Every structure is written in C-alpha cells, then in structure tokens.
C-alpha cells in the first residue's frame, strides 16, 4: 500500500535532500584548522621578508645620502620596485578583508575567521558577474611578474619567481574550461582563499627582495677595500701638432670613479672634471713632461697622495704631398697625387686646390686626381686635417703647371705575342711594315705613359735620282699610296715619317717636331 504524497511529505523529502547535500559539502574542522596554521606560517614568513626588504631600502637610502651621484639611479629604481610591490600587496590585503567580511559580517577579522568553511564568500568577491575582482587580480599579477622578471638575469631566480607568480591553470580533466580565477576561487572555503592570497603576498615580497639584492650589488655599496693604488695619465695621443690640443685622462687606478681625487699640476690645483680630463694648448714644439700628483681623502681622515709623470711630444704641422708622376702638374690632364698627414687617418685628411687653377678630387684613401686648367699658373694645394673634433690647416703646397710635352711618333707592332714599338735607328722588316696599319704617338719616357691621337702625317721617300717623294695621310693609318711605296722598297732603303699632327688628353693639337727614320730590312 503506497503512502500518499502529501504536501507535508514533499517538504520532508526536500529537507532530507538539502541535509544530504550539506553533509556532502561539509569539510573537516581539522582541514580548516590546518589552513589556518599554514596561513599563520606564511604571514610570519611574509613579515620577515618585509623586514629584510625594509632593511635593504634603508641601506640604499643611507648610501644615496652619502653618494647620490653613484647610488641615486639604483635608489630610484628600488623605489619604483617598492611602489609596485606595495600596490599589489595592499590590493591582495583588501581582497582578504572583503572575503572574510562577506562570510563573518562587517566585523569579520582575517586573523580570526569564524565561518572558515563558507563556500560562497570567495566566489562572490572574486567571481561575481560585473563586480568580481578575479580578472583584475589576474592582470595585476601578470603585469607585476613581467616587470620583476625584466630586472632579474639569473635563470634560476627567474624560474622561481615565474613559478611563484604564475597564472596558468594546471592541465587536468577537472580544470577543463576554467580560467585562473575560477580555478582558484570557485567553491573555495574562506580560510583556503585567504591562505592562497597570503601565499601570493609572500611571493610578492620574495620577488621584491630578489630585485633589491640585485640593485644593492649594482651600487657596490658593500665594496671590497683595495690596498694598492696607482696614479696614471692616459693621453689621447703623445704626439701633438703645434696649435692643437693635448688631452689626457688623469685617474687613480682601483678607486671609485665617482670619488674624484684632487689633481695638482705644477703645484696648482686643477678645476674639478667629471672624467678626469686635462687639456692645455701646445704652442711650442719639442718634448715635454706632464708632472703632478693626486690627493684623495681616506675614511680615516688621512690624505692619500700619488705622483704621476707623462711625456709627450709637440711637432710642427706637416703633411706629405707628392705628385705621383713628377714634380710638376700638367694642365688639362688627370695628374695622380698622393696626400697624407703623419699620424692622422686618411679619412680625416682633406685637400683642395685653393687658387682656382683646376680641381682636386679624392679617389681612394690618400689618392687624389689633380686636374689643373691653366698653363703657367701655379696650382696651390691646401691640406687640412680633423683632429680632436676640429679642423686644422696642415699647410699649402705650390706646384708649377705646364703643358704636356710633345709625344714621339713610332710604329707599334707585335712580335711573338709581345707588343713592341719601333722608334727608328735599326732595321724593320718589310713584312712587319706591310702588316702595320699605321703609326701612333705617345709620351713614353719611363715616367709618363700618355697616348695621343694622331690626326695625320707625311712620309718622304727618295727615288733613284735622289728626289724626295712625299705622301700624305689624313689619319693615323697608312694611305694606299704609302702602302704601295712600301712594296717598292728594297732591303736597306729608308724613308721618313714627319709632320705628325696629334692631339693629347689636354685637347691641344700640336705638330710634332720629331721625325721617324724607318730602315727596311
């Protein structure tokens, strides 16, 4: 016989179901108390880390007061780290208070939680739609972790900090589809949520401390004391051009560069200089010695003194300018010129023709091409060099400008694959003569090798009666009539090539005074 399902029976059934659900969700009081113990331990660890970090901050602050130039940049960075760490730490502290107050009421105390097993408070504060703080906390942790890791170079410490402050969700089946805030705070008892947040605060103080230790090391606040000191003078160069500047760095080795010693030269104290530079204008040539001493106050009140001495040489302004071909320049021609200044790289040497007679252009390194324009007018080459950031004159060099000398005519041919030039005075085979197209003209004296273009010439033959028979060519090639005359020549006969007209690279046409005597073999 069935029992009627009355409204009263339905209510009893519903209450039974709720009771069973509460029993299923009930958490052992021992587990909850265990969370409280862990939270207390983490709080003590965090407190100790905070005290240690504050000690480092104080050390940096005191060092900054004594030496702000040296410690100042690192102290400022430490203050930035402190601001970031405190911001995240305090934000987490407020979240803990909100979760506890939601579970225990407005008088809820994080240090003495009543409803430790409450499963709704953490979810409401961290995951409530629109107002949940979980997403904001996630972003702040990610930003803080990235900023801290940018300061840390040690791979082990980077790994520890990255793991402590990770926001990745472990890959397990029961975590599928959950984000970080859901994984951390969904259905999490109040005491567990508070413990997790306390651990986060501990991780923040740990990461903060690691960065502070690195900053402390960079400031060398805890320097090892040195016991061997030596004064040095380090010049930019021991050779100085007259009128130039002698520059030298005067330092005390193994001493903090920001603790500048007093520099005395010739018994006179020199003005304080940030990098220890000393400069004096060198107005006389010769060898000189820079003598002086350094004084550095010690911590015990004594003054440490170190003498120094450095020789240097002052030389006259000079440059090496040489015409590659000879001691004159030829008008209308590209004259190779080499220009250099002893002790100065070619790239810092400049040169030009300054009196308007032509141009001077650099080709490579110290090689130049001088192209004078006017015969009989000197070309003045001015050389300058850039030293110590300023341009200084190295002198003016005057060259006479001449017209290119007249070339000599000759017959050019090849024998056994070797080019040869017939200049007269010996026999030339008739076969070579018949196979040669014409004549050439060039300056070829061992110094110059300049080709000219032949415009025309005249050959003079002599008949059996001794009468001169001239034949003219209007180009560099032998004419047909000249070739015919060659065929008639017998061994031992001779003829002359004269009245050669030629034009050189300067564009000047000239009639060559020299003649070429050709003897036929």
Output the CA torsion sign for 334, 335, 339, 345: positive
Q: What is the mean pLDDT of residues 131-138?
A: 92
At 29 the pLDDT is: 65
Half-sphere exposure of 205 (CA within 13 A, CB side): 23
Q: For 315-319, 391-395, 448-452, which range has the lowest pLDDT when averaged over its residues? A: 315-319
Give 20's pLDDT tier (boundaries 50, 70, 90).
very low
User: Alpha-carbon distance 118 to 121, whole Å?
Assistant: 6
Find, among 400, 264, 377, the residue nearest to 327 by Cα: 400
| Whole-number pLDDT of residue 177 | 76
Mean pLDDT of the chain: 84
Taking residues 326-346, report their average pLDDT. Answer: 87
pLDDT of 243 strictly over 90 = no
| Average confidence (pLDDT) over 223-245 | 62
Q: Model confidence over 397-429: pLDDT tens digits?
A: 999 999 999 999 999 999 888 989 999 888 899
User: For residues 370 and 314, which has the higher predicted lDDT (pLDDT)?
Assistant: 370
Share of the chain above pLDDT 70, in %: 84
SS3 assignment for 250-305: EEEECCCCCCCCEEEECCEECCCCCCCEEEEECCCCEEEEEEEEEEEECCCCCEEE
Whole-angstrom distance, CA of residue 189 vs CA of residue 191:
6
DSSP 3-state of 145: helix
Element (H, E) at 472: strand 468-473
Residue 16 has pLDDT above 50, yes or no: no
Q: Which residues contact 53 (CB under 8 A, 6 or more apart)?
A: 82, 205, 208, 209, 212
As to burial, measured by CB atoms within 10 angstroms (0-12 exposed, 13-18 middle, 19+ buried), residue 178 is middle
Q: Is 216 in contact with 201 (CB distance < 8 Å)?
A: no
**Comparing 39 with 490, which gets the higher pLDDT?**
490
Q: What is the DSSP letter of 187?
A: T
Q: Binning pLDDT at 50, 70 and 90, where does residue 41 land?
A: confident
Band (pLDDT 50/70/90 cuts) for residue 239 is low
Instruction: Report pLDDT digits (tens) over 154-188.
Output: 889 899 999 999 998 888 756 667 899 888 898 88
Measured in whole angstroms, the distance separating CA 305 from the mean position of its chain's CA atoms is: 38
Q: Which pLDDT value is given to residue 504?
A: 93
pTM: 0.44
In this predicted structure, what is the pLDDT of residue 288?
85
Q: Is the pLDDT of residue 21 over 50?
A: no
**Tell me, what's the pLDDT at 206?**
92
* 133, 95 contact by CB (below 8 A): yes
| Residue 518 confidence class, pLDDT cut points 50, 70, 90 | very high
- HEC states along 375-424? CCCCEEEEEEEEECCEEEEEEEEEECEECCCCCEEEEEEEECCEEEEECC
Give pLDDT, residue 234.
Answer: 72
Rg (the chain; Cα; Å): 49
Predicted confidence at residue 253, as pLDDT, reads 64
For the stretch 429-481, pLDDT in tens is: 999 999 999 999 999 877 778 999 999 999 999 988 889 999 999 999 999 99
Average pLDDT of span 110-120: 89
242 bridge partner residues: none
Greater model confidence, 442 or 283: 442
Task: Report the C-alpha gap between 203 and 141 in whole angstroms.
Answer: 11
């Amino acid at each position: 016989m069935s029992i009627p399902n009355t409204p009263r029976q339905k209510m009893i059934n519903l209450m039974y179901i709720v009771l069973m659900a509460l029993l299923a969700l009930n958490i052992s009081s021992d587990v909850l108390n265990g969370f409280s113990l862990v939270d207390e331990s983490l709080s003590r660890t965090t407190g100790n880390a905070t005290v240690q970090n504050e000690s480092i901050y104080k050390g940096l602050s005191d060092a900054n007061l004594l030496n702000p130039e040296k410690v100042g940049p690192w102290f400022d960075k430490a203050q930035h780290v402190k601001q970031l760490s405190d911001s995240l730490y305090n934000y987490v502290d407020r979240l803990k208070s909100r979760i506890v107050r939601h579970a225990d009421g407005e008088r809820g105390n994080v240090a003495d939680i009543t409803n430790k097993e409450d499963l709704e408070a953490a979810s409401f504060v961290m995951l409530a739609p629109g107002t949940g703080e979980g997403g904001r906390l996630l972003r702040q942790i990610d930003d803080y972790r990235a900023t801290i890791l940018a300061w840390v170079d040690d791979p082990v410490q980077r790994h520890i900090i990255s793991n402590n402050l990770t926001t990745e969700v472990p890959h397990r089946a029961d975590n599928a589809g959950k984000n970080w805030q859901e994984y951390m705070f969904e259905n999490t008892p109040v005491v567990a949520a508070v413990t997790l947040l306390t651990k986060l605060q501990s991780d923040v103080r740990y990461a903060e401390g690691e960065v502070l230790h690195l900053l402390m090391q960079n400031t060398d606040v805890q320097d090892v004391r040195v016991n061997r000191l030596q004064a040095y003078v380090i010049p930019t160069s021991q050779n100085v051009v007259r009128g130039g500047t002698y520059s030298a760095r005067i330092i005390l080795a193994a001493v903090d560069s920001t603790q500048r010693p007093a520099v005395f030269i010739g018994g006179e104290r020199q003005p304080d200089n940030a990098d220890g530079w000393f400069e004096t204008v060198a107005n006389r040539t010769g060898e000189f010695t820079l003598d002086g001493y350094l004084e550095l106050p010690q911590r015990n009140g004594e003054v440490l003194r170190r003498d120094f001495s450095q020789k240097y040489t002052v030389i006259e302004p000079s440059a090496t300018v040489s015409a590659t071909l000879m001691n004159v320049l030829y008008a209308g021609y590209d004259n190779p010129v080499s220009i250099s200044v002893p002790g100065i790289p070619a790239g810092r040497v400049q040169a030009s023709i300054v009196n308007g007679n032509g141009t001077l252009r650099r080709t490579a390194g110290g090689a130049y091409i001088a192209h004078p324009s006017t015969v009989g007018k000197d070309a003045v080459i001015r050389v300058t060099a850039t030293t110590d950031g300023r341009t200084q004159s190295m002198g003016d060099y005057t060259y006479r400008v001449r017209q290119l000398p007249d070339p000599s005519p000759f017959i050019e041919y090849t024998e056994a694959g070797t080019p040869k030039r017939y200049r007269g005075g010996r026999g030339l085979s008739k076969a070579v003569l018949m196979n040669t197209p014409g004549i050439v003209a060039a300056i070829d004296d061992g110094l110059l090798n300049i080709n000219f273009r032949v415009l025309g010439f005249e050959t003079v033959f002599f008949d059996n009666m001794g009468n001169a028979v001239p034949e003219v060519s209007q180009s560099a090639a032998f004419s047909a009539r000249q070739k015919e005359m060659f065929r008639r020549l017998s061994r031992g006969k001779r003829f002359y090539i004269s009245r050669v007209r030629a034009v050189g690279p300067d564009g000047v046409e000239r009639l060559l005074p020299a003649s070429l005597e050709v003897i036929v073999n």
